């Protein structure tokens, strides 16, 4: 009987990706086919007799997170040359990788987890790896430099609990991009099976909730768009860009944006 293996491990073992992290990212991006059928779950069990292919362009980053920040940088737009940055909820480091590839001089990579950051980032002298660290407990002692730019990609917690801490660490005029995840903002009664929110009205309400919080708590809203890739369970997510300081915030039609996201992403 042929041996079974996780799909991401099989992709890496076959030499179809340069690291296990990139193999996982390729699977989740829908680039991996098993016996001619697309498989997008890294934990799918495959046999050594299965035909595994990677079609399309490989990811530039260690995870799909890099694609989210890449879109934000293009849309809002954002330049990171020489910037001191912070990646809140760094995980594997897709956002950190994107920052470095776009000229960041240093990145503080913060995550409550341990051992998740990709090896190439752990060994990069520009990265300060603050694992086992809850952003809510981060002080100026831990991050002594004023931050020029911050990304936020957190789970199982509302952005309303994270943004005030980030505000303290950003320099005046510093920018942030936060990933708005409806499943962690909408309330349990509005979340469906497997933690997925499908109602466009709820998506719109969540966008309004976070953009209002930003403008009421020391930020100027620069824009909102939908994330180019869904979350692991299929959740549509949104990217908000804001700047520390008072200014004229852009007006966002949350209902129209939510509807567009559903049309584009399904």
Domain of 171, CATH number, reads 3.40.50.150
Q: Within this chain, do residues 30 and 70 fall inside the same structural domain, yes or no?
A: no
**Does a structural domain hold residue 222?**
yes
Q: Are 196 and 133 within one domain?
A: yes
Rounded distance, CA 73 to CA 7, Å?
31
Is 59 among the domain residues? no
**Inside any domain, residue 166:** yes
Residue 240 and residue 143 share a domain: yes
- pLDDT-derived band at 264 (thresholds 50, 70, 90) equals very high
| 180 shares a domain with 86 | yes
In the chain, the number of structural domains is 2
DSSP 116: -
Residues 175 and 251 in one domain: yes
pLDDT of 77 above 70: yes
Residues 12 and 86 in one domain: no
- Predicted local confidence at residue 238, as pLDDT: 98
CA distance 192 to 41: 20
pLDDT digit string, tens, across residues 231-261: 878 899 999 999 999 899 999 999 999 999 9
pLDDT score of 2: 66
Q: Answer whether residue 176 is part of any domain.
A: yes
Range of the domain at 156: 65-265
pLDDT at 243: 98
CATH number of the domain to which 27 belongs: 3.10.290.10
Q: Is residue 1's pLDDT more than 70?
A: no
Q: Same structural domain for residues 18 and 92?
A: no
Domain identity same for 129 and 213: yes
Rounded Cα distance, 227 and 236, in Å: 7
pLDDT at 20: 80
pLDDT at 42: 87
- For residue 218, the tally of other CB atoms under 10 A from its CB is 17
Taking the complete model, does pTM exceed 0.95, yes or no? no
Q: Are residues 30 and 112 in the same domain?
A: no
Q: According to the model, what pLDDT value does residue 234 have?
A: 85
**What pLDDT, on the 0 to 100 scale, is given for residue 174?**
98
pLDDT of 216-235, one tens digit each? 999 999 999 999 988 878 89
Q: Which two tokens stand for residue 75?
A: 């849309």
Candidates 66, 68, 4, 56; CA nearest to 30 is: 56
């Amino acid at each position: 009987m042929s041996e079974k293996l996780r799909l991401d491990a099989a992709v890496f073992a076959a030499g179809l990706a340069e690291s296990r992290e990139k193999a996982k990212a390729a699977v989740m991006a829908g680039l991996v086919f098993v016996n001619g059928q697309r498989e997008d779950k890294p934990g799918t069990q495959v046999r050594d007799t299965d035909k595994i292919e990677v079609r399309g362009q490989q990811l530039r980053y260690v995870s799909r997170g890099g694609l989210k920040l890449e879109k934000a940088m293009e849309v809002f737009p954002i330049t990171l040359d020489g910037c001191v940055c912070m990646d809140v909820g760094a995980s594997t480091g897709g956002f950190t990788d994107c920052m470095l590839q776009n000229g960041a001089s240093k990145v503080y990579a913060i995550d409550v987890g341990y051992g998740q950051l990709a090896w190439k980032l752990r060994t990069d002298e520009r990265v300060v790896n603050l694992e086992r660290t809850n952003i809510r407990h981060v002080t100026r002692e831990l991050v002594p430099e004023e931050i020029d730019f911050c990304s936020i990609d957190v789970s199982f917690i509302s952005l309303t609990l994270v943004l005030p801490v980030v505000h303290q660490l950003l320099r005046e005029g510093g920018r942030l991009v936060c990933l708005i995840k409806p499943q962690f903002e909408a309330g349990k009664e509005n979340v469906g099976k497997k933690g997925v929110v499908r109602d466009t009205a709820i998506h719109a309400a969540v966008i309004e909730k976070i953009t209002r919080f930003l403008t009421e708590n020391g930020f100027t809203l620069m824009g909102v768009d939908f994330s180019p890739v869904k979350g692991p369970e299929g959740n549509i997510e949104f990217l908000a860009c804001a700047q520390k300081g008072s200014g004229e915030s852009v007006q966002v039609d949350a209902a129209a944006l939510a509807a567009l996201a559903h049309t584009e992403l399904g």
